[in-house]
Amino acid sequence: MSILIIDDFQEERDLLHGILHRAGFGPLLPVATAQEGLTLLGIGKRGKPGNGIDLVLMDLEMPGISGLEACEKIRMEEQLQGLPIIIITAHTAEKDIQAAYTAGATDYIRKPVIPVELLARAATALSLKQEIDARKLREQELLERTKELDHAFEQMTTLHGTVHICAKCKRVKTDGSYWQRIEDYLRRLARFTVKEAVCESCMHQAYPHLKRMP
C-alpha cells in the first residue's frame, strides 16, 4: 500500500523511508514540501483526488504550507476523509497535539522516531484504511444494486409501447411471435399476485347448472 512521506529534511525522509522499506512497506513516496504532497494527492486538480495513496506521514513545521494547513486541505476533500494522516513532529506540547488532531490528523509520532513505534502505527493506520475502503466498496455495491432493483421494478410496473392482446383468447403477444396467457404476462411484469377466478357472467354462461354463490 502506498505511503506518502512529507518532510523538508532529507535525513528525516531517508530515515522513514529506510525503516518502512526494510519492513516491506511500499511503494514509498518521499517529498520535501507539503505542496508536493498535496499535488501527488491530486488536490487542486480536476477529477477525484486520491491517486492511490493509502497513508500520509507528515512533519508539522515546513516551508510554505505547514503540516497543519496541509491536513486541513486534505480533509476538505470528500474523497480523502478516510485517508490516515500521521503527524511526525518534535513538537509534543499538548497544544501542538490538539492542533494536529483538530486539523484532521489521525495519529502522531514523536521525534526522534522509534522504528518499532513507526511500524506499529503505520500498520494500524493501513489496516484501518483497508477497512474503510472495503466499507465504501460495499456501500457502492449496495447503491448500484438498489439502482438496478429500482430500474427493474419500474420496468415491471410500467408498460411501455403497444401491448397486443388476442381479441378471442385474450393472450398477450410477447417476445417474437410467442403468445402468453395474460395472467402469466402480468405475473412476470407486475409486483403483485395474480389469482385466477371466474366472473358471475361467465359462471352463468359456462356453468348454468351451478347455483349462484351468496
Residue 156's pLDDT is 58
Report yes or no: 56 and 37 within 8 Å, Cβ to Cβ: yes
| β 53-58/28-31 pair status | unpaired
Instruction: Answer positive or negative: Cα dihedral of 2, 3, 4, 8.
Output: negative
| pLDDT tens digits, 162-174 | 667 777 777 777 7
C-alpha 8/C-alpha 12 separation (Å) is 8
| pLDDT tens digits, 181-191 | 877 777 666 55
C-alpha 54/C-alpha 14 separation (Å) is 19
Q: Which three cell numbers stand for residue 66?
A: 505547514
Residue 189's pLDDT is 64
Mean model confidence pLDDT for the chain? 84
pLDDT band, very low/low/confident/very high, at 157 (cuts 50, 70, 90): low
Superfamily of domain 2-143 in the CATH hierarchy: Response regulator (3.40.50.2300)
pLDDT band, very low/low/confident/very high, at 115 (cuts 50, 70, 90): very high
pLDDT band, very low/low/confident/very high, at 72 (cuts 50, 70, 90): very high
Residue 123's pLDDT is 96
Domain limits, the chain: 2-143, 159-206
Identify the helix (H) or strand (E) that includes residue 120: helix 115-157
